[in-house]
Amino acid sequence: MLENKDQERTSLEKLGEFGLIEHLTKDFKISRKSTIKGIGDDATVLDFKDKKTVISTDLLIEGVHFDLSYMPLKHLGYKAVMVNLSDIYAMNATATQITVSIAVSNRFPLEALEELYAGIATACKMYNVDLVGGDTTSSKTGLLISVTAIGEAEESSLAYRSGAKPNDLLVVTGDLGAAYMGLQVLEREKEVFKVNPNSQPDLEPYSYIVERQLKPEARKDIPDLLKKLKVHPTSMIDISDGLSSEILHLSKSSGLGIDLYEDKIPLDPTVISACEEFKMDSTLVALSGGEDYELLFTIDQKEFPKIKGNPNFTVVGHTTGENEGAFLISRNNTKIPLTAQGWNSFA
Ligand code: ADP
Ligand code: MG
């Protein structure tokens, strides 16, 4: 993408730091009542009245968290925002503002940063969050992008990792493993492309899983839906590193055991077929794959009727007693301890 000689390349030096910031942020509009002062002063001013403020930051580094050879910059901008909004929704809160900090080497032309900010702008619009600040600096190597997301919530609706109670139901949104299998497809195409640069990959059969990798969506709808259904999650976390590692976090923070049932794990049919093609175990992919950005939460059993039959939710297990450990109950009914393999397990 960056190599395309037909595209215009305006060097960053021409604009200077202030010109660059102005150019990248001028079309962003403020839409949240809680934003008193956005970009353009020494600091941002926000007002959440009697609500609690929720803040989360992530840092993404080229070559570590993303690979620009198959990740278009627009998608990267979008994804960097999603990763952070997901953390706000995982507190059962509403995301309201973001700040974006970037470090770029002069190998990037202005047009590349415009793409990055186009993705950020789309995310802000779709998720109704204001871009209210950031920082811009140079880097000697690749691209670094750090997003801070800010949100608000009533104190009573906040969901911490530590709040699960014994015998709560464990619930997951959406389906798992697709982002990881999408990555497998993209990695394979990258290798094919290295050997034959004229190859035209047919990604059509993989569109769902590739999209889940390149354009993940944070579950903005879930805190709203839970509120509407009058369900109060006792604990909640987002699934960024794989189901296994997130279950261990809930288990440890809440001081409780958790049993997860293998046959309940929600998988899209295209994930199952991709796993067959790549000779991977779909349960392991869901447990350790990561980057699904679904939400995992616990609820009191009494609340089950409120979520029963809702296509957004799957009950995958339950909490057990104090410090009983986290286990996978396999299809043939054996109890296997869960380990925090997370993302690195396939490395
Ligand atoms: P300072 O010298 O106080 O760090 P800057 O010149 O870095 O101020 O930033 C000027 C304004 O532009 C501030 O409101 C800052 O938050 C915002 N800003 C700087 N870089 C970015 C960026 N990459 N994206 C969005 N806003 C930015
Ligand atoms: Mg600055």
| Res. 4: pLDDT tops 70 | no
Average pLDDT (176-191) is 94
Where along the chain do the CATH 3.90.650.10 domains lie? 169-337
Where along the chain do the CATH 3.30.1330.10 domains lie? 12-153
Q: Which one is the CATH code of 169-337: 3.90.650.10, 3.40.50.720, 2.102.10.10, 3.40.50.970? A: 3.90.650.10
pLDDT digits (tens, 9 = 90+) for 112-142: 999 999 999 999 999 999 999 999 999 998 9
Counting ligands in written order, the one closest to the CA of 18 is: 1
Long-range contacts of 222-230 (CB under 8 A, 24+ apart): 222/89, 222/173, 222/295, 222/312, 223/89, 223/92, 223/93, 223/94, 223/153, 223/157, 225/312, 226/92, 227/157, 229/306, 229/307, 229/310, 230/306
- The single residue listed with the structure tokens 């609340």 is 303
Which atom of ligand 1 has the smallest separation from the CA of 133? 16
Angle between helices 73-89 and 110-127 (to 10 degrees): 30
pLDDT digits (tens, 9 = 90+) for 208-254: 999 999 999 999 999 999 999 999 999 999 999 999 999 999 999 99
In the reported structure, the alpha carbon of residue 21 is separated from the centroid of ligand 2 by a whole-number distance in angstroms of: 10
Q: Which residue has the higher pLDDT, 96 or 323?
A: 96
Counting ligands in written order, the one closest to the CA of 16 is: 1
| Res. 347: pLDDT tops 60 | no
Q: What pLDDT shows up at residue 341?
A: 67
**C-alpha distances in angstroms, 18 versus 2, 112, 232, 290, 310?**
24, 17, 46, 37, 49
In the reported structure, the alpha carbon of residue 33 is separated from the centroid of ligand 2 by a whole-number distance in angstroms of: 25
Torsion of CA 152, 245, 329, 300, to 10 degrees: -20
Q: Is 87 annotated as a binding residue?
A: yes
Per the prediction, the chain carries an average pLDDT of 93
191-205, 228-242, 243-257, 331-345, range with the lowest pLDDT: 331-345
pLDDT digits (tens, 9 = 90+) for 142-158: 999 999 999 999 999 99
In the reported structure, the alpha carbon of residue 105 is separated from the centroid of ligand 2 by a whole-number distance in angstroms of: 16
Ligand 1 binding pocket, CB closer than 6 Å: 18, 21, 25, 39-42, 100-102, 131, 133-136
Query: Homologous superfamily of 12-153 in CATH?
Result: PurM-like, N-terminal domain (3.30.1330.10)
Q: Is 65 annotated as a binding residue?
A: yes
